[in-house]
Structure 1
Amino acid sequence: MSSSSGGPLAEGVASARWAELESLLHEALERPPDERANFLDAVCSDPEQRREVEALLSAHERPGRLDALADSLMAPLLASRAKPAANGAALP
Protein backbone atom coordinates (compact mmCIF):
# COMPACT_ATOMS: atom_id res chain seq x y z
CA MET A 1 0.00 0.00 0.00
CA SER A 2 1.52 3.32 -1.04
CA SER A 3 1.08 6.69 0.55
CA SER A 4 0.03 9.71 -1.50
CA SER A 5 2.94 11.65 -0.02
CA GLY A 6 5.49 9.19 -1.37
CA GLY A 7 6.58 8.07 2.07
CA PRO A 8 9.85 8.58 3.91
CA LEU A 9 12.05 7.73 0.91
CA ALA A 10 10.44 10.44 -1.25
CA GLU A 11 10.68 12.92 1.62
CA GLY A 12 14.37 12.08 2.04
CA VAL A 13 15.02 12.59 -1.67
CA ALA A 14 13.15 15.91 -1.63
CA SER A 15 15.07 16.97 1.47
CA ALA A 16 18.40 16.04 -0.12
CA ARG A 17 17.44 17.87 -3.32
CA TRP A 18 16.52 20.99 -1.36
CA ALA A 19 19.79 20.85 0.60
CA GLU A 20 21.73 20.64 -2.67
CA LEU A 21 19.79 23.56 -4.19
CA GLU A 22 20.23 25.63 -1.05
CA SER A 23 23.97 24.99 -1.05
CA LEU A 24 24.27 25.98 -4.72
CA LEU A 25 22.20 29.10 -4.07
CA HIS A 26 24.47 30.22 -1.23
CA GLU A 27 27.60 29.49 -3.27
CA ALA A 28 26.19 31.50 -6.19
CA LEU A 29 25.28 34.41 -3.91
CA GLU A 30 28.89 34.55 -2.68
CA ARG A 31 29.95 35.44 -6.24
CA PRO A 32 29.47 38.75 -8.05
CA PRO A 33 26.33 38.69 -10.24
CA ASP A 34 28.37 38.72 -13.45
CA GLU A 35 30.19 35.50 -12.42
CA ARG A 36 27.13 33.48 -11.44
CA ALA A 37 26.30 32.12 -14.91
CA ASN A 38 29.80 30.67 -15.31
CA PHE A 39 29.59 29.20 -11.81
CA LEU A 40 26.24 27.55 -12.60
CA ASP A 41 27.66 26.23 -15.90
CA ALA A 42 30.39 24.51 -13.91
CA VAL A 43 28.37 23.06 -11.03
CA CYS A 44 24.83 22.30 -12.18
CA SER A 45 24.53 18.68 -13.17
CA ASP A 46 21.29 19.03 -15.13
CA PRO A 47 19.21 21.78 -16.77
CA GLU A 48 16.35 21.42 -14.27
CA GLN A 49 18.73 21.93 -11.36
CA ARG A 50 20.11 25.06 -13.01
CA ARG A 51 16.60 26.44 -13.65
CA GLU A 52 15.71 25.90 -10.01
CA VAL A 53 18.85 27.67 -8.77
CA GLU A 54 18.29 30.55 -11.21
CA ALA A 55 14.69 30.87 -9.99
CA LEU A 56 15.91 31.01 -6.39
CA LEU A 57 18.51 33.63 -7.30
CA SER A 58 15.88 35.71 -9.07
CA ALA A 59 13.52 35.49 -6.10
CA HIS A 60 16.34 36.43 -3.74
CA GLU A 61 17.19 39.55 -5.77
CA ARG A 62 13.57 40.78 -6.00
CA PRO A 63 12.26 42.82 -3.10
CA GLY A 64 9.17 41.21 -1.69
CA ARG A 65 6.14 42.27 0.28
CA LEU A 66 7.96 41.82 3.57
CA ASP A 67 10.70 44.18 2.42
CA ALA A 68 8.12 46.84 1.55
CA LEU A 69 6.34 46.30 4.86
CA ALA A 70 9.60 46.56 6.80
CA ASP A 71 10.50 49.76 4.95
CA SER A 72 7.11 51.31 5.67
CA LEU A 73 7.33 50.40 9.36
CA MET A 74 10.95 51.40 9.86
CA ALA A 75 10.93 54.74 8.02
CA PRO A 76 8.92 56.61 10.70
CA LEU A 77 11.01 55.06 13.48
CA LEU A 78 14.27 56.02 11.84
CA ALA A 79 13.01 59.52 11.08
CA SER A 80 11.98 60.06 14.71
CA ARG A 81 15.48 59.05 15.90
CA ALA A 82 17.08 61.63 13.62
CA LYS A 83 15.13 64.52 15.19
CA PRO A 84 16.66 66.33 18.17
CA ALA A 85 14.84 66.15 21.48
CA ALA A 86 12.74 69.14 22.55
CA ASN A 87 15.56 70.38 24.82
CA GLY A 88 18.05 70.32 21.93
CA ALA A 89 19.85 67.14 22.99
CA ALA A 90 20.16 64.34 20.48
CA LEU A 91 18.17 61.22 21.16
CA PRO A 92 20.26 58.11 21.89
Structure 2
Amino acid sequence: MKLSKQEFLSRSGLGHETLTAWIEEEWLIPDGSSVEASFSDIDIARARLIRDLQLDFGVNDAGVGVILSLLDQLHGLRRTMMALRRAGRITSE
Protein backbone atom coordinates (compact mmCIF):
# COMPACT_ATOMS: atom_id res chain seq x y z
CA MET A 1 0.00 0.00 0.00
CA LYS A 2 1.41 3.36 -1.03
CA LEU A 3 1.01 6.31 1.31
CA SER A 4 1.36 9.99 0.46
CA LYS A 5 3.78 12.07 2.48
CA GLN A 6 0.90 13.53 4.50
CA GLU A 7 -0.58 10.07 5.21
CA PHE A 8 2.86 8.84 6.25
CA LEU A 9 3.32 11.77 8.63
CA SER A 10 -0.08 11.18 10.15
CA ARG A 11 0.39 7.44 10.63
CA SER A 12 4.01 7.62 11.81
CA GLY A 13 3.57 10.56 14.16
CA LEU A 14 6.65 12.27 12.71
CA GLY A 15 6.96 15.96 11.99
CA HIS A 16 8.01 17.42 8.63
CA GLU A 17 11.47 18.41 9.90
CA THR A 18 12.16 14.98 11.34
CA LEU A 19 11.05 13.27 8.14
CA THR A 20 13.23 15.58 6.05
CA ALA A 21 16.23 14.87 8.29
CA TRP A 22 15.69 11.11 8.16
CA ILE A 23 15.40 11.18 4.37
CA GLU A 24 18.62 13.23 4.16
CA GLU A 25 20.33 10.65 6.38
CA GLU A 26 18.86 7.97 4.07
CA TRP A 27 17.26 6.24 7.04
CA LEU A 28 14.03 6.41 5.04
CA ILE A 29 14.02 6.28 1.25
CA PRO A 30 10.60 7.05 -0.22
CA ASP A 31 9.57 6.12 -3.73
CA GLY A 32 9.20 8.98 -6.18
CA SER A 33 10.37 12.56 -6.09
CA SER A 34 10.60 14.71 -2.99
CA VAL A 35 7.43 16.51 -4.10
CA GLU A 36 5.43 13.35 -4.81
CA ALA A 37 7.14 10.96 -2.41
CA SER A 38 5.24 7.84 -1.48
CA PHE A 39 5.81 5.55 1.44
CA SER A 40 4.85 2.00 2.41
CA ASP A 41 3.86 0.16 5.55
CA ILE A 42 7.49 -0.98 5.79
CA ASP A 43 8.52 2.68 5.98
CA ILE A 44 6.07 3.15 8.87
CA ALA A 45 7.65 0.19 10.70
CA ARG A 46 11.15 1.53 10.01
CA ALA A 47 10.20 4.99 11.31
CA ARG A 48 8.81 3.43 14.50
CA LEU A 49 12.01 1.41 14.91
CA ILE A 50 14.13 4.55 14.53
CA ARG A 51 12.00 6.40 17.06
CA ASP A 52 12.20 3.46 19.51
CA LEU A 53 15.97 3.26 19.12
CA GLN A 54 16.31 6.96 19.87
CA LEU A 55 13.73 7.40 22.60
CA ASP A 56 13.58 4.04 24.36
CA PHE A 57 17.19 2.94 23.99
CA GLY A 58 18.97 6.30 23.79
CA VAL A 59 20.80 5.46 20.57
CA ASN A 60 22.45 8.51 18.99
CA ASP A 61 22.27 9.37 15.27
CA ALA A 62 25.52 7.61 14.41
CA GLY A 63 24.33 4.49 16.21
CA VAL A 64 20.98 4.56 14.42
CA GLY A 65 22.82 4.70 11.10
CA VAL A 66 24.96 1.69 12.03
CA ILE A 67 21.97 -0.33 13.26
CA LEU A 68 19.93 0.41 10.14
CA SER A 69 22.87 -0.50 7.90
CA LEU A 70 23.32 -3.81 9.71
CA LEU A 71 19.59 -4.58 9.50
CA ASP A 72 19.59 -3.79 5.77
CA GLN A 73 22.57 -6.11 5.27
CA LEU A 74 20.85 -8.86 7.24
CA HIS A 75 17.68 -8.58 5.16
CA GLY A 76 19.77 -8.58 1.96
CA LEU A 77 21.54 -11.76 3.05
CA ARG A 78 18.22 -13.40 3.89
CA ARG A 79 16.91 -12.58 0.41
CA THR A 80 20.07 -14.05 -1.12
CA MET A 81 19.80 -17.21 0.97
CA MET A 82 16.15 -17.65 -0.01
CA ALA A 83 17.01 -17.19 -3.70
CA LEU A 84 19.82 -19.76 -3.42
CA ARG A 85 17.50 -22.16 -1.63
CA ARG A 86 14.87 -21.74 -4.36
CA ALA A 87 17.52 -22.35 -7.02
CA GLY A 88 18.45 -25.59 -5.22
CA ARG A 89 21.99 -24.50 -4.47
CA ILE A 90 21.59 -24.90 -0.73
CA THR A 91 19.34 -27.09 1.34
CA SER A 92 17.86 -26.51 4.74
CA GLU A 93 18.59 -29.04 7.42
Structure 2 length as normaliser, TM-score? Answer: 0.35
Greater Rg by CA: 1
Structure 1 length as normaliser, TM-score? Answer: 0.35
Q: Which has the higher contact order (CA 8 A, sep 6+)?
A: 2
Structure with the largest fraction of helix = 1
Structure with the largest fraction of strand = 2
